[in-house]
Amino acid sequence: MILNNLPFLLIRCLLLTLIIELITAFILGIRDRKDIINVILVNVLTNPVVVLSQQFLHYKYNTTVEIIGIIILELLAFLVEGLIYKRVLKYKELNPLILSLLLNATSFCIGELINIL
C-alpha cells in the first residue's frame, strides 16, 4: 500500500459503497430523508475502518489470514450497521439486520466485481 494512494482509495471505496447501498436502499423502499441520511452516516462510520483494516491485512499477512480477516470485518460491519439501523431507522419493512445484510452483501459483491474488472 502506497500511503499517497490511501486517501484516494478511501474516498473511492466510500463513494462506491454509498452509491451502491443508496440505490439498493431505494429499491428496498427506503424513501424517508432521515433514513437515507442515516444510511449515509452509518457507512461514513464503518466503511473507512473496514477498508483500512483490509488494506493492512492485505499487505501484512498471507492470503488465508487476509480472507479470514475480511470475513470477520464484513460480519462486524453488518452487525454494527444492523444494530444502528434498529435504533435509528423509521423504515420497518425489513428487519434491520436483514436490511444491513442485503445492503452490505450487495455493495461487497458489486465492489468485488468492479475490482476484478
pLDDT (tens digit, 0 to 9) for every residue of the chain, 117 residues total?
456 789 999 999 999 999 999 999 999 999 999 999 999 999 999 999 999 999 999 889 889 999 999 999 999 999 999 999 999 999 999 999 999 999 999 999 999 999 898
Number of structural domains, the chain?
Answer: 1
Query: Range of 18's domain?
Result: 3-116
Return the pLDDT at 2. 56
Contacts of range 94-100, beta carbons closer than 8 Å, 24 or more positions apart: 94/28, 99/25, 99/28
List, in sequence order, the alpha helices (H) in the chain.
6-27, 33-60, 63-88, 96-116
* Farthest-apart Cα atoms in the chain, separation: 43
- What predicted TM-score, i.e. pTM, was given to this entire model? 0.91
Q: Are 55 and 1 in contact (CB under 8 A)?
A: yes
Cell matching residue 105:
452483501
Return the pLDDT at 3. 63
